[in-house]
């Protein structure tokens, strides 16, 4: 390892990770929010500092060029010009960031929506009173296809014909991080009370889920729950 190039290598690594997360990863999946990109860059920076300061020699290799560049010691030509540019542009960048942080904007603030907020007390500990029989599951599937399928899809994956009209999109029940993490009583609450029944941290204004208690009986809701688990190939969270 040429230790003298450690600062440069660190800078290249940071830039490469940024480019990968910002430009390359979105070619294969949805783009990452900047909050996550900053987090990963922060961790990379910590890694560079930890690795670079393990010995006296590597500390000099990492920090020496940075300190010399900033102090202007022994640099000339284009490097000198680059230093001047950094010393002028960096305060400007900080000023611009501060200004953009405070200037009134029509953009809404970043969201930190809690997808699974805590249910109200009256829905805690409820168990499904409808026996889990093939007939009841079949009846539940019928109800599901009548009421839920347009949004949550025939394959229970959130890809119903109407799903594209919603933002955020309807929940994907086949995803192991959705209904498989929850007890049946939680789903009973969500179906019965709908989006408007969410607590503030769940952003009720972000959910188009109807309040099904208006149209469906409790028994029908419990049957739909059984159908959702069966159709999505998931099992509800239990303690037995």
Nearer to other proteins among residue 92 and residue 200 (C-beta)? 200
User: What's the min distance (Å) between Cβ of 142 and other proteins?
Assistant: 25
Provide the b/e sequence for 119-158 (b: ≥16 CB within 10 Å).
beeebeebebebeeeeebbebbbebbeebbbebbbeebbb
Residue 173 to residue 156: CA distance in whole angstroms: 6
Q: By CB under 8 A, name the one of 11, 47, 161, 165 that touches other proteins.
A: 47
Quick one: DSSP state of residue 238? -
Backbone angles phi and psi of 25, in degrees to 5: -60, -40
Q: Give the CA radius of gyration of the chain.
A: 27
Residue with tokens 């890694």: 47
Asked whether position 29 contacts other proteins by CB under 8 A, the answer is yes
In angstroms, the Cα distances linking 47 to 18, 43, 188, 223 are 15, 6, 46, 52
Q: By CB under 8 A, name the one of 24, 66, 91, 235 that touches other proteins.
A: 235
Nearer to other proteins among residue 21 and residue 139 (C-beta)? 21
Site string for other proteins, 159-198 (x = CB under 8 A): --------xxx-----xxx--xx-x-xx------------
Site string for other proteins, 86-125 (x = CB under 8 A): ---------------------xx-xxxxxxxxxxxx--xx
Q: Which residues bind other proteins (CB under 8 A)?
A: 1, 28-36, 39-40, 43-44, 46-47, 50-51, 53-57, 59, 107-108, 110-121, 124-125, 167-169, 175-177, 180-181, 183, 185-186, 199, 201, 234-240
């Amino acid at each position: 390892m040429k230790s003298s190039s450690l600062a440069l290598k660190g800078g290249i690594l940071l830039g490469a990770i940024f480019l990968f997360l910002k430009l390359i990863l979105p070619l294969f999946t949805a783009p990452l929010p900047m909050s996550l990109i900053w987090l990963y860059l922060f961790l990379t920076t910590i890694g560079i500092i930890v690795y670079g300061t393990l010995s006296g020699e590597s500390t000099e290799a990492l920090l020496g060029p940075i300190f010399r560049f900033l102090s202007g010691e022994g640099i000339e030509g284009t490097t000198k010009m680059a230093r001047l540019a950094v010393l002028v542009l960096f305060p400007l960048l900080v000023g611009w960031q501060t200004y953009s942080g405070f200037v009134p904007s029509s953009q809404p603030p970043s969201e930190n929506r809690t997808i699974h907020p805590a249910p109200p007390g009256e829905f805690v500990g409820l168990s499904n009173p409808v026996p889990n029989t093939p007939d009841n599951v079949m009846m539940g599937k019928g109800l599901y296809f009548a009421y839920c399928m347009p949004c949550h899809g025939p394959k229970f994956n959130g890809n119903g014909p109407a799903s594209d009209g919603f933002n955020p999109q309807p929940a994907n029940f086949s995803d192991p991080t959705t209904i498989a993490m929850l007890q049946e009583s939680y789903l009973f609450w969500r179906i019965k009370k709908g989006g408007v029944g969410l607590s503030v941290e769940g952003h009720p204004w972000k959910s188009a889920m109807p309040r099904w208690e208006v149209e469906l009986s409790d028994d029908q809701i419990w049957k739909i729950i059984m159908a959702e688990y069966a159709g999505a190939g998931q099992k509800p969270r239990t303690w037995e």
